[in-house]
């Protein structure tokens, strides 16, 4: 057998996220973050590979965090990964529903990211409405271009829950200008359902946000005739 242990597998190995930081003694460390939605036994081989390669590249301590919104997947991810050599056992740090309580009071002063993770974990349950309210409050304090991404994730988390999905859509329609991919998708759905008034609201909001009529038509997929029937200016 060849002794060369260099990788000959052309398959790309890419973790969901890698975070670098320094510990209290200013020593380099790194965390591999994996979002796991389904059981995948191949990860029992890939995760050790991720950590070993990263440790060798950075000459640093490395750790593995698995975010698993589903309780069964979280239980699977907590399993011990024995690699054969005595004492060489990887036990992932797992963030699952157990670490993300359903009680919205737990998130009164939490970051929007933590609230969003809880919403992802519990968005299908009927008791998640208070979590949606907590997310709505937290996202108002978020800054930068991450807000549209968070909105998209929240929408995906509650899409199987009709009441919560409608509540989130209504909130976005009334409180946000239609600039994010999330909002454009909602408007596209509204048009597909024949909700002409919602389309006109979207036109007004886009014009108010500074988009030209040509840009607005492109974003909403409107024809020249449909734009001729749209409001001439924001109201």
48-71 pLDDT, tens digit each: 999 999 999 889 899 999 988 788
DSSP H or E segment with residue 94: strand 93-95
Locate all alpha helices (DSSP H) within the chain, ordered by sequence: 43-58, 71-77, 112-122, 129-139, 147-158, 162-175, 181-192, 196-208, 213-220, 224-228
Which position has the higher pLDDT, 207 or 112? 112
Q: What is the share, in percent, of the chain residues with pLDDT greater than 90?
A: 17
Q: What are the φ/ψ torsions at residue 203 (nearest 5 degrees)?
A: -60, -50
Which pLDDT does position 224 carry in this prediction?
75
**pLDDT for residue 191:** 46
Least confident of 7-11, 74-78, 162-166: 7-11
Rounded alpha-carbon distances, angstroms, from residue 181 to 142, 147, 149, 220, 235: 17, 11, 8, 11, 23
| Cβ–Cβ < 8 Å for 123, 164 | yes
Which pLDDT score, from 0 to 100, does residue 146 have? 67
Chain segment 77-98, per-residue pLDDT in tens: 999 999 899 999 999 999 888 8
Q: How far, in Å, CA of 156 to CA of 148, rounded?
A: 12
Alpha-carbon 192 to chain mean position: 26
Domain borders along the chain are 13-96, 100-175, 177-235
pLDDT at residue 188, rounded to an integer: 55
Least confident interval from 50-54, 98-102, 186-190: 186-190
Backbone angles phi, psi at 186, to 5 degrees: -60, -40
Model confidence band, residue 125 (pLDDT cutoffs 50, 70, 90): confident
Average pLDDT, the chain: 76
More confident residue, 224 or 49: 49
Q: Which residues are paired to 30 by β-bridges?
A: 20, 62
- Above 80 in pLDDT, residue 112? yes
């Amino acid at each position: 057998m060849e002794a060369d242990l260099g990788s000959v597998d052309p398959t790309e190995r890419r973790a969901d996220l890698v975070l670098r930081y320094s510990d209290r003694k200013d020593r380099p460390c790194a965390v591999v973050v994996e979002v796991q939605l389904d059981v995948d036994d191949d990860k029992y081989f890939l995760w050790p590979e991720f950590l070993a390669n990263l440790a060798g590249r950075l000459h640093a301590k490395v750790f593995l965090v698995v975010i698993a919104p589903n309780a069964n997947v979280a239980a699977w991810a907590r399993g011990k990964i024995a690699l054969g050599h005595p004492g060489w056992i990887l036990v992932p740090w797992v963030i699952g529903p157990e670490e993300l309580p359903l009680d919205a009071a737990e998130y009164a002063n939490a970051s929007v990211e933590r609230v969003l993770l809880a919403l992802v974990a519990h968005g299908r349950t009927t008791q998640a409405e208070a979590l949606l309210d907590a997310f709505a409050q937290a996202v108002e304090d978020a800054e930068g271009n991450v807000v549209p991404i968070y909105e998209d994730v929240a929408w995906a988390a509650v899409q199987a829950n009709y009441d919560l999905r409608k509540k989130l859509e209504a909130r976005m329609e009334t409180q946000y200008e239609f600039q994010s991919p999330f909002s454009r998708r909602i408007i596209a759905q509204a048009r597909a359902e024949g909700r002409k008034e919602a389309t006109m609201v979207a036109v007004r909001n886009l014009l108010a946000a500074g988009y030209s009529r040509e840009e607005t038509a492109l974003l909403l997929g409107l024809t020249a005739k449909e734009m001729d029937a749209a409001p001439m200016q924001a109201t």
